[in-house]
A = this chain, B = another copy of it.
Amino acid sequence: MILTVTLNAALDTTYDVDRLVPHASHRVREVRHRAGGKGVNVARVLQALGHPAVVTGFAGGPTGGAIHDDLARADLVDALVDLPGESRRTVTVVSAADGDATVFNEPGPHVDAEDWHRFLSRFATLARDAAVVVLSGSLPPGVPADAYAELTRLAAEHGARTIVDAEGEPLRLAVRSRPDVVKPNADELRRTTGRPEPEAGAALLRDAGARAVVASLGAEGMLVVSDQGAWRASPPERVAGNPTGAGDACVAALAVGLRDGLDWPATLREAVALSAAAVLHPAAGGFDDQARRRFLSGVEVRGLDGVGA
């Protein structure tokens, strides 16, 4: 199975309003709640593709209870570790006037040393059965900055491959543990490495230990730099919609490629098609499967000479 880790799991709340007007008072037309956080979205995509996934991370308090309830509704295997604090929420305000979304992310509950050790023990047990471990998203307050480095090392000890979708210090520290794939987007890669060009940023993370770097470049597609070589892949058409969750769909495709030993062009083709199909879906963790199938044959993958390897 594929294990997805969401240390900062959230209850994603969506507010539909007529139009977002700063400094005004808004009547919320409809409220929707959904278990969220990047790893949860990755697990949703994997499940929809027919691949067994297990969700772990932290959840606590009544908001944590709502997260558990929603995972059960979605039929996802719930291995979240209890936290004494209250799980965070994210609030996304969707304006009916233009369809645009404005997002507010709560920081999340504090995780103390004892919580973290309980998590590590649960993680070690879960990693034993995992072919691939996905480590996604920001770290809640109190979790050590080298959390992803430690989890990558532990996963490798138990024979699991690893994907890290993070940025900044947690990503810089994680690459030292030689994860199989790291997947920042272009902005995250620039912020993490200080290099404006994705190729240069990817090279830096590879030099620091990452076996492969996949940079998602939005409408431009993706770049991979790996031991096997470097490729760029672009979607067959520009898609308009909700870009939240496109990165998580990409990670789901990378996890399947890694588990099944696919080559990079095949993995990138699926990752680009699935990401574009996710943009067409209103909620993160979902995708338009008809569009995905249509896109698959149109993704253009070209090798980059002189980069990577």
Contact = CB atoms under 8 A, between A and B. Distances in A.
A62 interface: yes
Chain copies in the assembled complex: 2
Nearest to A98: B23
Contacts of A21: 102
Given A22-B102, A29-B107, 12 more contacts: A20-B102, A21-B102, A22-B100, A24-B102, A26-B104, A28-B104, A62-B62, A62-B63, A62-B65, A62-B66, A91-B104, A93-B104
Nearest to A27: B105
Contacts of A104: 15, 17, 26, 28, 91, 93
Counting chain A residues whose Cβ lies within 8 A of the other chain, the interface size class is: 20 to 34
Contacts of A27: 105, 107
B23 A105 contact: no
A25 interface: yes
A62 B107 CA distance: 20
Contacts of A65: 62
Nearest to A21: B102
A103 interface: yes
A188 to B, nearest CB: 13
Contacts of A204: none
B28 A105 contact: yes
A101 interface: yes
Contacts of A95: 22
Interface of A: 15, 17, 20-29, 31, 62-63, 65-66, 91, 93, 95, 100-107
A26 B93 contact: no
A109 to B, nearest CB: 10
A70 to B, nearest CB: 14
A32 to B, nearest CB: 11
A72 B52 CA distance: 46
A107 B31 contact: yes
Nearest to A33: B86
B91 A31 contact: no
Contacts of A29: 107
Nearest to A17: B104
A101 B21 CA distance: 11
Nearest to A20: B22
A62 B21 CA distance: 30
Nearest to A107: B28
A198 to B, nearest CB: 21
Contact of A101 (B17, B23, B66, B106): B23
Contacts of A102: 20-26
Contacts of A25: 102-103, 105
26 contacts: A15-B91, A15-B104, A15-B106, A20-B102, A21-B102, A22-B22, A23-B100, A23-B101, A23-B102, A24-B102, A25-B102, A25-B103, A25-B105, A26-B102, A26-B104, A27-B105, A27-B107, A28-B104, A28-B105, A28-B106, A28-B107, A62-B63, A62-B65, A62-B66, A91-B91, A93-B104
